Amino acid sequence: MTTDQPEVSGAEIALENVTKRYPGQKAAAVDGLTLTIPAGEIVMFVGPSGCGKTTSLKMINRLIEPSSGTIRIGGQDVRQQGENELRRQVGYVIQGGSLFPHMTVAKNIALVPKLLGWDADRIEQRVVDLLDLVGLDPAKYRGRYPRELSGGQQQRVGVARGLAADPPVILMDEPFGAVDPITRQRLQDELLSIQRELRKTIVCVTHDIDEAIKLGDRILILREGAEVAQYDTPENVLAAPADDFVSDFVGSGSTLKQLSLARVSSIELADRPTAWVGESTGEVVARAEAEGHDAVVVLDDRGRPLGWPWLRQLRGHDRVPSYDAEKLNTLDSRATLNDALDTMLTSSHGAAVVTGDRDQYLGVISFEAVTDHMRQLEREAAAHGE
């Protein structure tokens, strides 16, 4: 992890003895939940369906009103202001992005700033910045309608929309549930990368324990009635499950699970020759061959990887062509080794390109590096057990 942490822009959320009882139901959906979510952290709510995790989340922005108890954001009781004012200061991202289909991408993102009465120039600038932040080219995508986007792109716009008014707190309800596994992994990486820059307080509901381990600074595991089974860091949840319910839910703490904890950044990346779009192919090929490689990573003018062609694929061109970055499965440096293995399986290189903030190229992680790391983990675990 980086040492110079950017300033925390999030706010602390405190739930105090919060209860939600629906009329006509004997058991409370949420029964006396008390919880502090530290500013600038990602807290994952997980638990079996019907455990009250979504209800708990929606009480934070008052989409559901608690029957009793208090919720404070940044020390202020959420009932002190009007519900609409509150919600404009709390980002809300739900499954699939839930974009309004009759509005363009730009209009979707501009919604909350407009409700807050920002002036047009500021909104305009904000839309461009946010699209850039979530990795969509503003010139290309701002005027598109949601149905002209892929599921992953829609979800990115959904995240951008949640961030639009720069809220200190962002609530996410199964944000990546509707996309395929590779896209999901990418979106998760992007969220981590964005969070590294913004340091918001993010509360995220998921039913996927692997997602919770990967994204969460802390994990809240709930059982029926939103009773806290365990609330701790992923490391501690894996190493010391509070009880049988938790260990069942988490699954066995094997080395494989540990792979969900270890980040790509913990492994030394390999250097590979790079080339810029438009460079003379002859020089690039010569350079790569001199270093003993048979492929190059093609970067755009901002240092973002676009493609990873073999040299024989380049030989047909005079200049290095541009590639569609959508087709290159990259890994964020905060991706887990689990993700890394997944991504490698889809690559013909037996390795994966790793990116840092704003998709900057960092290096390449190879299959051997991951297996070496696994062996080392096993050795350490064995040594520990003795």
Q: Which residues contact another protein by CB under 8 A?
A: 61, 63, 83-88, 92, 94-95, 98, 100-104, 111-112, 115, 145-147, 161, 171
Give yes or no for a contact between 108 and 126, defined as CB atoms under 8 angstroms apart: no
| Nearest residue (CB) to another protein, 83 versus 326 | 83
Give the list of residues 6+ apart from residue 91 with CB closer than 8 angstroms, or none. Answer: 162, 163, 164, 165, 167, 169, 170, 171, 200
Instruction: List the structure tokens of 52.
Output: 């009250």
| Nearest residue (CB) to another protein, 164 versus 340 | 164
Measured CA to CA, the distance from residue 36 to residue 14 in angstroms comes to 4
**Radius of gyration, alpha carbons of the chain:** 23
Smallest separation, CB 144 to another protein (Å): 9
| Nearest residue (CB) to another protein, 89 versus 188 | 89
| Nearest residue (CB) to another protein, 161 versus 334 | 161
Measure the CA angle with vertex 10, ends 194 and 36; round to 5°.
120
Give the list of residues 6+ apart from residue 105 with CB closer than 8 angstroms, or none. Answer: 99, 131, 136, 141, 142, 143, 144, 145, 146, 149, 157
| Nearest residue (CB) to another protein, 34 versus 150 | 150
Measured CA to CA, the distance from residue 255 to residue 61 in angstroms comes to 38
Q: Closest Cα to residue 351, out of 252, 246, 272?
A: 272
Kindly state the greatest CA–CA separation across the chain: 76
DSSP string for residues in 176-198: TTTS-HHHHHHHHHHHHHHHHHH
Q: Closest Cα to residue 357, out of 334, 327, 328?
A: 334
| Nearest residue (CB) to another protein, 63 versus 377 | 63
Measured CA to CA, the distance from residue 353 to residue 361 in angstroms comes to 8
Q: What share of the chain is helix, strand, coil (3-state, %, to 5)?
A: 40, 20, 35
What is the number of other CB atoms lying within 10 angstroms of the CB of residue 142? Answer: 19
| Nearest residue (CB) to another protein, 203 versus 262 | 203
Smallest separation, CB 43 to another protein (Å): 18
| Nearest residue (CB) to another protein, 122 versus 375 | 122
Give the list of residues 6+ apart from residue 19 with CB closer than 8 angstroms, or none. Answer: 28, 30, 31, 32, 33, 66, 67, 68, 69
| Nearest residue (CB) to another protein, 73 versus 192 | 73
Query: Which residue matches tokens 């990873």?
Result: 308
